[in-house]
Homo-oligomer: A and B are copies of this chain.
Amino acid sequence: MSLRQYEYALAVAEEGSVTAAAELLHVAQPSVSQQIRGLERELGVELFARTPTGLVPTVVGRAFLREAEIAVSASRRARATARAGADELVGELMVAVQMGFGTRQLPGALGALRRRFPRLEVTVFEEPSSAELERLGRRGVLDLALMAACEQSPADAHHLGDEEFVVVLGAGHRQLAVDRVELRELEGEPWVRFDRDSALDGVLLNVLRDNDLTPTTAARVSQTATAVRWAAHGLGVTLVPASAVPHGHEHLVRPVFPVVSQPVIAVVRHGAGPAETALLELLRQETWSEPAFFSPVS
């Protein structure tokens, strides 16, 4: 039941004789003969019919060889993929992004990464729950994660910058008149909140508690873009990272006082390879703090 047996069987079927297959494979004839017989003995089936002029696949042999060819070619692909990975960068990079961090920076970094390493596939888990993130991280599926706080302190955590949080107000909201919203002024407002146990909801709860506000929940959503849209429609106010505000809603956004800010930390997994390092470097080169971005619209 080895790949070699498959390759030998395929060569025999292709060449029509053990001898020809043997010289194609650069081995002696008995070797091929033994492998074929061993395969047939192991499977309990005659894969080839013996004719005076060579070996010919039987009915069941053909069915077998069809699958065997898939196995062999897949093996070749696996080998080629890995060997290519030695020089070039080939593979599948798994990235998790919490709290909408890097919404503005990630596309640029991933685009640059794709230009430099076209055969590198990137999968991004956007705003997974804490439990999901934990699970992915524990199982080692993740190569890089963007998050606010990290329990694992070692050198694998890199501080990229800080993300300022902003409130999104409904169209016509009275607080749109000021440049920076005092959080206490939002007493009594209904809030568009986030999924229970999500990091974003945790930040929001902390902010409300620090400013002696009682949270009135208008709705809970999973994605920051949804929260912004619902808040814009007047369902309530919400608090999201500045870079997570979609285009077209900037006029409904205000920075807050006291300032709410979270560090953006890139956690690279243990034993990071060149792919992870490259993406981390590209992320570093992006601009991470633009304090004047959300100045009041004129």
Contact = CB atoms under 8 A, between A and B. Distances in A.
Contacts of A58: 91, 271, 273
Contacts of A16: 139-140
A60 B269 contact: no
A15 B275 CA distance: 24
A50 B272 CA distance: 10
Given A2-B2, A3-B2, A85 B70 contact: no
A162 interface: no
A134 to B, nearest CB: 14
Interface in A46-78: 46-47, 49-52, 54, 56-68, 70-72, 74-75, 77-78
B82 A273 contact: no
Given A3-B1, A75-B71, A62 B140 contact: no
A91 B71 contact: no
A94 B61 CA distance: 12
A93 B59 contact: yes
Number of identical protomers: 2
B63 A85 contact: yes
A92 B44 CA distance: 18
B77 A74 contact: no
A1 B44 contact: no
A70 B273 CA distance: 25
A116 interface: no
Nearest to A55: B140
A164 interface: no
Contacts of A79: 1, 43
A45 B4 contact: no
Contact of A92 (B2, B46, B63, B276): B63
A105 interface: no
A66 B92 CA distance: 10
A35 interface: no
A101 interface: no
Interface string A249-279: 0000000000000000000011111011000
Interface in A266-296: 269-273, 275-276
Interface in A77-105: 77-79, 81-83, 85-86, 89-94
A3 B7 CA distance: 12
Contacts of A46: 271, 273
A143 interface: yes
A10 to B, nearest CB: 11
